[in-house]
Amino acid sequence: MKIRFKIKKLETFTNTYVSAVKLTMFDDSTGWGQMSTYCSDITCDIFHRQIAPHAIGVSFGSFDELEELILRKEHKFPGSYLLRALAGLDTALWDWLGKIKGLPVVTLIGGNPGKIRAYGSSMKRDITPQEEARRLCNLRDKFGFTAFKFRIGSECGNGKDEWEGRTEEIIKAVPKALGTGVEKLVDANSCYLHADAIEIGKKLIDNDICHFEEPCPYWLPEETKKVTDSIPIDVTGGEQDCDLRIWQDLINRKITDIFQPDIMYMGGLTRCLKVAKMANDSNMPCTPHAANLSLVTICTMHFLKAIPNAGKYLELSIEGEDYYPWQIDLFDNDPFKVSDGECTVPDSPGWGVQFNKKWLDKSHYRVFED
């Protein structure tokens, strides 16, 4: 007979930017997860009103079963916020399962702990090409990164640059400074329509850039498809999409060359594994979006070490306290240490990390229990 489980209590620890979730089963075993970052105080309200009431005291035999129940109960709310909240439950469930089995999540989903190649991911646009080149070269020399991503255009910018001439300058300056042996990636964050994106894409090729992320507005996939079909470098995207129907369409039509779901935006690891399988069934690689040093990057490390169609590297933010002050002291120790351009997926049970007690004590606490 299949084993059934019940959740006794769900606790949340929240600030504006991030919300941690502690799950307790009726046998008092526990797991820790996280909701998606940004406006997490709003997401936490949704968690307590639209996730927890359907999860507490309910008998379930699989994560899919429980999460499908919640999504059916909340069928009138099929959007991003509900899934950002669901990610807190799902990631806590995976941590719990790993701990009761004494295994890391990566092993539970078919992979092995160990080293994983990372690319240093810049989030800044208010930085000059020369300053960006200097800091990326410093990180290359200090940590051994063999790939970097930097920003071009302006975010959802209707074709406008962050300032006039910046894109033209940075796609020359950074590759020249980094030199050979380092892969160069750029992210346009939905800036261009296809005609401009194609012209920029040709210049990327001329400057040894191999990856063109979200060149066009993500809500206009036909625009992106024109770019994918027109230039011989990897066009990538998908971070904003969380509906499995949309994902199936993107994959069926090969809108991009590489697909980049975000585990937290998707609603957790369980749903993100479905996207990876869809892509794998179509022989397409999957390299998730992981733009900050919260649990999303930890989850992505485990994910990439397990799926058969993992892309070449893990996205690892290079931004510190000046850009992401809320990341500081989120976890005990440093789970994002880089050596020779690689991070390490630990062999400890669950996600292998612990939220910092001092951070938890400063957060806003709420509980929902049977």
pLDDT digits (tens, 9 = 90+) for 277-334: 999 999 999 999 999 999 999 999 999 999 999 999 999 999 999 999 999 999 999 9
> CA-to-CA distance for 254 and 267, rounded, in angstroms?
23
Is the pLDDT at 117 greater than 90? The verdict is yes
Give per-residue pLDDT as tens, 21-65. 999 999 999 999 999 999 999 999 999 999 999 999 999 999 999
Number of Cβ within a 10 Å radius of residue 96: 23
Confidence category of residue 348, pLDDT binned at 50, 70, 90: very high
SS3 assignment for 97-125: HHHHHCCEHHHHCCCCCEEEEEEEECCCC
- How do strand 209-213 and strand 183-187 relate by DSSP bridges? parallel
Per DSSP (E only), the strands in the chain are 7-14, 19-25, 30-34, 114-121, 147-151, 183-187, 209-213, 234-237, 258-259, 314-317, 342-345, 364-369
Give per-residue pLDDT as tens, 147-200. 999 999 999 999 999 999 999 999 999 999 999 999 999 999 999 999 999 999
> CA-to-CA distance for 228 and 211, rounded, in angstroms?
11
Give per-residue pLDDT as tens, 224-271. 999 999 999 999 999 999 999 999 999 999 999 999 999 999 999 999
Q: Concatenated DSSP letters for 46-76?
A: HIIIIIHHHHBT--BSSHHHHHHHHHHHTTT
**Look-up: residue for tokens 């994959």?**
251
Full set of structural domains in the chain with CATH: 7-102+357-369 (3.30.390.10), 107-345 (3.20.20.120)
- How do strand 147-151 and strand 183-187 relate by DSSP bridges? parallel
**Look-up: residue for tokens 């255009």?**
153
Among residues of the chain, what percentage have pLDDT more than 90? 99
> CA-to-CA distance for 365 and 360, rounded, in angstroms?
8
**Look-up: residue for tokens 């406008």?**
160
